[in-house]
Every structure is written in C-alpha cells, then in structure tokens.
A and B are shown apart, each in its own frame.
Chain A
Amino acid sequence: MVKREERRMRYAVRALGWATKIFWIFIIAFLATSVYSAMNVKMGFGEPQLFLSSGFVVISVPLSVNNSGLYDLSELNVTVDVMDYNGSLVLTSTTFVPLIPRGSSVETAHNASMSLDDILSKAQIYLFNDTIFNVGMSMKLKFAHAIPLQISMNKTIPWGAPLYDFSVGQISYDYHNITHQRVTIPLSFENHSPYFGVDGTMRVEMYNDRSEVIASGTSSLNVPSHSKYEDQVELIVDVLKLTPSGEMHFYFETSLLSFGPLVMPYG
C-alpha cells in the first residue's frame, strides 16, 4: 500500500518534471522566435507634414510596417490627436488595420483633416497669433495575437499666423469735394505661415457711431509666406454721416479661407 503511494508520488513528480520541461522549451522557443520576428519587423512614423487641400488642413503622418517576422501583427491602431496651445483638442483621427500577416508589408499615410473654416470658427486666434500645435501620435498593435505593444510620441508643430499683427495705422482725412472726404486707412500685417500665402481680397466697411455703413472699399492681397503686407485703403465718405468715432469691419476672401468681420474701432 505504501509502495503504491510512493509510486504514485513518483509518477506525479515525473509528470510535473515533464510539464515543467515542456513549458520551458515552449517559452524559450516562443521568446527566441519572438525576438527574431520583432527584429524583422520594420515600422516607423515619418515626419508629420501639414498642408492645405481644398479648404482642409491635412496633417499627414507617413506610416510603414514591414512584417517579415514569423508572427502576424494584428489590431494595428494608429491615432493622431492635435491639441492647441491651451490643451483643447483640435482634431482626432484613427486608422485601423485589422491584420498584417507575416511576410507582408503595409505602407500608408495616416491623414487627419479638419476644415479650415472650422478651425477659424473655433479659434480666430490662429489667424492672428502664432501658436504651437501639440501632435500626439500613438500606434497600438498585437504581436503574435498575444503581446500588445504600444508606441506613442508627442511632437510640436509651430503654427504661423497668416494675418499676424494685423493693425490699422493713423487714419487720415483729406478733402475730396464739398460733400465728401477721402479717408485713408493704413493697414499692415505679416504672413507668418510657412505653409501658404494670403492671396485674395480684403473688404473694408466703415461704420459711424450710429452703426450706419458710411463707406466701403476693397483691396487685393498677395502676401507670400514669411512676408509683410503694408498698404492703405482709401474710402470716400459722406461728411454728413462721418462721426469722430465708429467701427471698421474687415472681411477676408482668399483662395483658402473666408473670414470676417474683424471689427476694429476708430476715433
């Protein structure tokens, strides 16, 4: 009876010994092949690029995955979040690739787009002030259907305001005729945007202190990137309607954006 018990124990010990050995062989083989496979997976984010297309700001992040390893890559999930200087979310976008089988490669560009009008409606500050966008990129995937991997990075992209330091100079009033005066409005701004020029028209409407439109005029704009605009707009105003103070409304119509009114007081 005791011997039988002893024999049973020895079987159990032997079984546990074999189970341990089998598990060790399995885990060592899996780890060795995983390291080999991981070394044969080439993946990378390219340099984020920002460009404009049909009124949309597009942030394009080139992404390439070459899986020449022994295991499949699954549930590839690429997410891009763009936040502005105060941390509020400007846009978010996701690309999902369900499976990258072993021996294949994927080359794609993860595009995150947002309407420029939308950007302007959300934050006019981008038009007149330089800022920095924080771009957060993350890539998640499952290696060999068992090991989740996450790669993330943060990058800052400077935003140059296309109408930086828009200002109205000293307004001058000249005699035009007995009923009208010529009002000269000096205007200046700098196009700090490295991505696009400001080409189009700028319309000015002059209001008196009774909120009546007393004059309007248009000026053409052709301001390339990193250049300064300095010009003046001349308006003919009825002297009877002209008041010492009031408002000027500026409307911008360019190939890429429509914006207005920008209200500035005078007097």
Chain B
Amino acid sequence: MVEKGNTKLFVRKILPKVFKAAFLAVITYLPMYFLSSLISPIKPFFPWYEPVTNIFAAVFIFFLVVGVLFSGTVFQYVFGVARTLVLMIFFICVLNGGIITLTVPTEGASVNIILDVTVVLAILVLICLLGIAKNVIQAIDFMSSKTEKEEL
C-alpha cells in the first residue's frame, strides 16, 4: 500500500520534473553547441574557449536541473541565484573582463587585435544582476507566502 503511494507520488510529482529538467537541459545545451560549431573556424585563436565553455555549461545545466527538481521549494530560487551567478562569472571570464585580445600570425609579422567589449559585458552583468534580484524577490515572496499559509 505504501509502495503504491510512493510510486504514485513519483509518477505524479517527480517524473514530470525530471522530464522538464531533461528538456530544459537539452534546450540550454543546444545554443552552446551551435555557437561552438559556429566559431569553430576561429577556435585555434581561442584555445581556452572550449574547455571553459564546457565547464560553465556543465555547472549551469547542473544548477538548472537541480533548480527544476527542487521547484516548489525555496531552493528553486537559491539554485536560480547560483545559476545566474555562474552565468555572470562565465561572461566575465569568456570576455576576459571586457578586453579580448587576439594575435594572428601573418607572413613575416603578427597582427594583434584588441577588442574592448566592456559595454557589452556591462549590459550582460546587468542582466545577470536583474536575474539575481528577481530570484531573491521571488524567494522572499515564496517564504512570506509559506509563513502566511502556516499561520492560517
């Protein structure tokens, strides 16, 4: 009887979350995969890009999956904040703090390219901070609702 109840709970509550998490993980990985193949011609100039991206993608997807699995609890928002923080750190790392340098060897000389994308990085960091703020407010809202329900 107890086993039947557990199975029902698993099918009703946990299984949809697992599917949702798997679906979101795939959806999140796809743009990274396409971006990676899009920049493959210039990969030799950024040898560090792929390992860094893979690590951050793994961490980001982990927090995404865990966040979905913990949906309905305050941890959903905690993992949401963690995920957004990871994304922010990823942008700062991959854009090298806003200054991208590239050296292209040519015949008898080398061409140095310096691209200052500080403005773009600032907007990306702002987006991440907005995401963190949203998650924090949602967490507060969730906790206050929960307390209110408990009091009632």
Contacts and interface: CB of A to CB of B under 8 A. Distances in A.
Nearest to A38: B115
Nearest to B128: A20
A147 B131 contact: no
B111 A23 contact: no
Nearest to B147: A2
Given A6-B144, A9-B141, A20-B127, 7 more contacts: A9-B140, A13-B141, A24-B127, A151-B112, A152-B114, A153-B109, A155-B109
A149 B113 contact: yes
26 contacts: A2-B144, A2-B148, A5-B144, A6-B145, A13-B138, A16-B133, A17-B134, A20-B127, A20-B134, A24-B127, A26-B123, A30-B120, A146-B119, A147-B117, A147-B119, A148-B116, A149-B113, A149-B116, A150-B115, A151-B111, A151-B112, A151-B113, A152-B114, A153-B111, A153-B112, A155-B108
Interface string A17-31: 101100110110011
Interface in B102-151: 106, 108-117, 119-120, 123-124, 126-127, 130-131, 133-134, 137-138, 140-141, 144-145, 148
B110 A153 contact: yes
Given A27-B123, A147-B117, A19 B130 contact: yes
A58 B109 CA distance: 21
Interface residues of B, number: 28
Interface of A: 2, 5-6, 9-10, 12-13, 16-17, 19-20, 23-24, 26-27, 30-31, 146-156
Chain B at the A interface: SS class: helix
A147 B130 contact: no
A27 B109 contact: no
